[in-house]
Structure 1
Amino acid sequence: MNQTRYMNIFVPVVAVLLGLLSGAVIMLISGYDPIAGYSALLSGIFGETYYLGETVRQLTPYILTGLAVAFAFRTGLFNIGVEGQVLVGWLAAVWVGVAFELPKFIHLPLSILAAGLAGALWAFVPGYLKARFRVHEVIVSIMMNYIALHVTNALIRFVLTDNADKTQNIYPSASLRSEFFSSVTDYSRMHNGIFLAIIAAIVMWFLLERTTKGFELRAVGFNQHAAHYSGMNVKQNIILSMVISGVFAGVAGAMEGLGTFQFVSIKNASTGIGFDGIAVALIGGNTAIGIIFAAILFGGLQVGGLNMPSEAGVPTELVEIVIALIIFFVASSYIIRILLFRLKKEEKK
């Protein structure tokens, strides 16, 4: 068991290193200096307090979308509709944020709760169809992404505004922004949502690993027939799993609406946060602590990569290539495992 656990930690680390090494090779082939490129990347993360604050701001929703994907996956489901759940959560949070002006201790939790409920409702649809009619959740959740995009755009344009491209800013009482973080990070957009993201990771770990209901959810994911014959309500657990996953995704949307941007606007395409969450969950091994570290990696690459063109002349597209290579090596982790086991056998000989 310990050997398996160490392998689950070691393999993603090897995959990340291989991705970075492959990125360095591509930089060399393209005529760029990989040392200068990665130095600029690190400088763009840790070089100034502003960059560090922006990195934390970027990784906050990644933790939540990673948890959303991982929770569903740990219970035998693939919630690829996280992107749509992020969008409706974002809209719901801002809607409450601009509709009322209440005391902060009421307004902020109410806005976050609205985001979680919106995400849960959006995830309920594929969960119910999966449980009731055996419709594959991947197909339905992908369709729900497009529905979410166009429904939120229509509500922004014709309900929340008078044919405008974005809403007004939320009231300060609904904001996640912190004067303390703003002052210590040179006025970055870092906000209190990072605490909520960490609490969410603890909640996921506790629910899945330390509760009876979590055991039921995982049992249904391992083998639905065995879970059914042992007396568990398989259909109810499928729906519950998707709903909880949707809550995480909806709250991720609140991080953007109440923290980063303070408004919601018309979008021509996806935000990418939900789809990046799939990669975060994959690299994090679908564990709460792994997802936090994977989100740190992704947030750092996204923010630090913005510094590479100006400081090292390396195009930001290479950062996307490095991320893609890391995902490729993690997805091919079984090959890494085979190689490691073979090396271990050779050493024994």
Structure 2
Amino acid sequence: MNKKNELVRSIAVPVISVLAGLLLGAIIMLVFQYNPVEGYGAMIEGAFGRAYNVGEVVRLATPLILTGLGFSVAYTAGFFNIGLAGQALCGWIASIWLAMTFPDLPKALLVPLCIIAGTLAGALWAGIAGFFRAQFGTSEVIVTIMLNYTILYISNHIVRYVLTDNADATPKISPNASLRSDFLTQLSGGSRLNGGIFLALLMIVLVWVLMKRTTAGFELRSVGLNPLASEYAGMNAKKNIILAMVISGALAGMGGVVEGLGTFENLYVLSAAPEIGFDGLAVSLLGGGNPIGILLSSLLFGVLKIGGLKMPSVGVPKEIVEIVIASIIFFVGINYAIRYIMDKFAAKKMTGKGEA
């Protein structure tokens, strides 16, 4: 019975958070004299009105699935990997660099090589923070934030002075390195939907198997629950710290690969680390760290962000979408309050039955 109640709460908390975020967005629209019905109606039309829109929703959700999975692995092991953006950028750089270095390799060989290179780059960048945490007890939050800025400026230098001659963007990669396919493009009405979605779906399955059905996953979860007890039981805490961060960074690196080889097909000068890192963190929290929850949360973010582009057509600023997303994350962050209210309501209901 307790397991059933916990399952209900784990589903109810994100649902309530989403509804509360949408309600707060509606209230803000009313306060500033916008029509929330028209605003949300335009959002739905912008997300589902055409095949192109649906394709863009799924396209945007794809890297978020990967970065969200990356965050969930580290979080389950007890670490807050806020460096997903930098690790994704590492994957983006490595995949584009390799694609530009060997543009004439067969597609069946070049695409897997680029994916592997980007994955390893993300894993290596996250492994730096994992190593310092394991060996010296440094905060992975501080180290990963610093690494985000470090790779951002390295990336811009590479774009301007290594891959180009003082240009702000690299040339488009060859079709042999692209994740796009004519089938997906035609199916989605010309959107940028690409083969990265299949990679993301595969990772959902693999991460679930890793965390739920393997010894390594059991050790990662154990270290997250109680590192001292885990070490007393014979588990190598330092090894698991590094392993968790490496896996987390590898998944984030894949997200960057999808952006580089699928969405943009090049690398350009950035003013900030990629949004997919921070959005992936939010997606993971909203999805409760569960792979299926992360999939659904990523699609929700895709609907909000792509659909929100249509809101100005009815006079509602698209920035309202960011307020809604921030509100949803706020309510997820205070999930203990939602759970407290739910428990009080359940206790009151049981008391009422007892008195009857």
TM-score by length of 1: 0.98
Counterpart CA distance in 2 for 1:2 and 1:109 is 42
- Residue aligning to 1:98: 100
Once the two structures are superposed, residues 91-146 of structure 1 have per-residue CA deviations (whole angstroms, 9 ceiling, x without a partner) of 11111111112111110000010100000010010000000111111110000000
Given candidates 223, 226, 232, the residue that maps to 2:226 is 223
Given candidates 312, 315, 333, the residue that maps to 1:313 is 315
Say whether residues 1:234 and 2:234 are aligned partners: no
Counterpart CA distance in 2 for 1:221 and 1:327 is 22
User: Counterpart of 1:128 in structure 2: which amino acid?
Assistant: F
- Residue aligning to 1:79: 81
Cα distance, 1:177 vs. partner?
A: 0.4
Once the two structures are superposed, residues 153-183 of structure 1 have per-residue CA deviations (whole angstroms, 9 ceiling, x without a partner) of 1111111111111111111111110101111
Cα distance, 1:270 vs. partner?
A: 2.0
Percent identity between the two aligned chains: 51
Q: Is the 8 A contact 2:81 2:245 kept in 1?
A: yes
Query: For 1:340, what is the secondary structure of its paired residue?
Result: helix
- Residue aligning to 1:187: 190
Say whether residues 1:170 and 2:173 are aligned partners: yes
Counterpart CA distance in 1 for 2:336 and 2:201 is 29
Cα distance, 1:200 vs. partner?
A: 0.8
Counterpart CA distance in 1 for 2:221 and 2:300 is 27
- Residue aligning to 1:65: 67
Counterpart CA distance in 1 for 2:11 and 2:160 is 46
- Residue aligning to 2:40: 38
TM-score by length of 2: 0.96
Answer with 263-272 or 117-126: which moved more: 263-272
- Residue aligning to 1:113: 116
User: Counterpart of 2:92 in structure 1: which amino acid?
Assistant: W
- Residue aligning to 1:281: 284
- Residue aligning to 2:156: 153
Alignment coverage as a number of residue pairs:
348
Query: For 1:168, what is the secondary structure of its paired residue?
Result: coil
- Residue aligning to 1:140: 143
Counterpart CA distance in 1 for 2:345 and 2:136 is 47
- Residue aligning to 1:299: 302
Answer with 179-188 or 72-81: which moved more: 179-188
Cα distance, 1:36 vs. partner?
A: 0.7
Once the two structures are superposed, residues 240-283 of structure 1 have per-residue CA deviations (whole angstroms, 9 ceiling, x without a partner) of 11000000000000011000000000111122110111110110
Counterpart CA distance in 2 for 1:56 and 1:144 is 29
Given candidates 192, 201, 216, the residue that maps to 1:198 is 201
Counterpart CA distance in 2 for 1:140 and 1:2 is 39
Q: Which consecutive residues of structure 2, in runs of 5 or more, have no partner in the other structure?
A: none
User: Counterpart of 2:240 in structure 1: which amino acid?
Assistant: N
User: Counterpart of 2:193 in structure 1: which amino acid?
Assistant: M
Counterpart CA distance in 2 for 1:93 and 1:238 is 26
Give me the CA root mean square deviation: 0.8
- Residue aligning to 2:27: 25
- Residue aligning to 2:326: 324
Counterpart CA distance in 1 for 2:244 and 2:120 is 14
Query: For 1:302, what is the secondary structure of its paired residue?
Result: helix
Structure 1 stretches of 4+ with a deviation exceeding 4 A read none
Counterpart CA distance in 1 for 2:188 and 2:80 is 37
Once the two structures are superposed, residues 43-102 of structure 1 have per-residue CA deviations (whole angstroms, 9 ceiling, x without a partner) of 001101110111111000111111111110001111100010011110111111111121
Counterpart CA distance in 1 for 2:346 and 2:228 is 37
User: Counterpart of 1:286 in structure 2: which amino acid?
Assistant: G
